[in-house]
Homo-oligomer: A and B are copies of this chain.
Amino acid sequence: MCSRSMASKTPVGFIGLGNMGNPMAKNLMKHGYPLIIYDVFPDACKEFQEAGEQCLGFSLEILLLCAKSLGHVRHFCVVSSPADVAEKADRIITMLPTSINAIEAYSGANGILKKVKKGSLLIDSSTIDPAVSKELAKEVEKMGAVFMDAPVSGGVGAARSGNLTFMVGGVEDEFAAAKELLGCMGSNVVYCGAVGTGQAAKICNNMLLAISMIGTAEAMNLGIRLGLDPKLLAKILNMSSGRCWSSDTYNPVPGVMDGVPSANNYQGGFGTTLMAKDLGLAQDSATSTKSPILLGSLAHQIYRVMCAKGYAKKDFSAVFQFLREEESF
């Protein structure tokens, strides 16, 4: 997938070096791509210094030369705006927290579109409203460049190990080019259809995930109160029609499985705040397409209440804890 000789690798832009973007960018660098990086918080770029060799004050030519001559050395260059990234790289990946950040990075005063080159490939891995993705795609197209949405599933762990799943929307002809880069960061790169369908697939998956997680928590809690042993109940569900990822891979009840957040006081994993955000996107999409999502909406509201009641930073499987009777009352 990343089989081209290193010597031919031109720099790739990477905007947004947060918890997810940081390990993703490093994986790209490990595969030999020199990076042009930017983050609104300059500190976010500092961490790169231990992961690669920063080219300070070097021109792009020197960066490329470095890449050619040294081969195995990892290089990156920090610049001061998305526009500067676009000036130096014709393939750019963005990984940002919200629709607003993505709009700013593309269409802002110093955004990518200010200096994007014709024919550039812009891949947005943020999870945002598919309607915003389509809007950005139109603006990018006007500049003669190509936009693809490629949100990820899998958390920080998968980002580090390069095992993310990318769901990609955009013109099919450009999918191969996108896959060359995304394949360095993920083990699964799925083409979903026209621009926005990557987001759509992500949103639908996470809505179903939230629903089945809450459902699993409710069923486990009810069963326990009815006298069932949690491990046995999980085993029965997992060989029956109630089986789902939340019951068989990420069970929310402490003591049922090892190596999941419920085994570690719901630390790590996929935060309740993030789930609430994704459910907000699902809600927005459902409202604008007039699609009824009875359980999806309720799941959204449950995670909103959890955020308000002190569960914001816990893994989303903490809904089991939220539903349980508190002992100290």
Q: Which residues of A contact B (CB under 8 A)?
A: 130, 153, 165, 167, 188, 190, 192-194, 196-197, 200-201, 203-209, 211-212, 214-216, 218-223, 225-229, 232-233, 236-237, 239-247, 249-250, 276, 280, 282-287, 289-302, 304-305, 307-310, 312, 322-326, 329
Q: Tell me how many chains of this kind the complex includes.
A: 4
When A196-B227, A201-B233 are in contact, do A296 and B208 touch as well, CB less than 8 Å? no
A193 touching B290, Cβ below 8 Å: no
Out of B216, B291, B310, name the residue touching A208 (CB < 8 Å).
Answer: B216
* Extra pairs beyond A190-B236, A205-B242, A290-B308 (15, CB < 8 Å): A193-B229, A200-B226, A204-B222, A204-B228, A206-B241, A207-B218, A214-B294, A221-B291, A222-B296, A241-B245, A290-B325, A292-B301, A292-B305, A294-B298, A295-B299
CB contacts (< 8 Å) of A233 on chain B: these are 201, 204
A228 touching B200, Cβ below 8 Å: yes
Out of B249, B305, B309, name the residue touching A294 (CB < 8 Å).
Answer: B305
B244 touching A212, Cβ below 8 Å: yes
CB contacts (< 8 Å) of A225 on chain B: these are 289-291
B295 touching A215, Cβ below 8 Å: yes
B228 touching A219, Cβ below 8 Å: no
21 A–B contact pairs at CB < 8 A?
A188-B239, A193-B232, A197-B226, A200-B223, A201-B228, A201-B233, A201-B236, A204-B228, A207-B218, A208-B242, A211-B218, A218-B295, A222-B289, A222-B291, A222-B293, A242-B245, A244-B245, A291-B323, A305-B322, A308-B326, A312-B329
CB contacts (< 8 Å) of A300 on chain B: these are 287, 297
CB contacts (< 8 Å) of A232 on chain B: these are 192-193
B294 touching A227, Cβ below 8 Å: no
B289 touching A287, Cβ below 8 Å: no
CB contacts (< 8 Å) of A285 on chain B: these are 222, 226
A242 to B201, alpha carbons, bound, how many Å? 10
Residue of chain B at shortest CB distance from A235: B190
CB contacts (< 8 Å) of A290 on chain B: these are 225, 276, 304, 307-308, 325
CB contacts (< 8 Å) of A301 on chain B: these are 292-294, 297
Out of B244, B283, B324, B326, name the residue touching A244 (CB < 8 Å).
Answer: B244
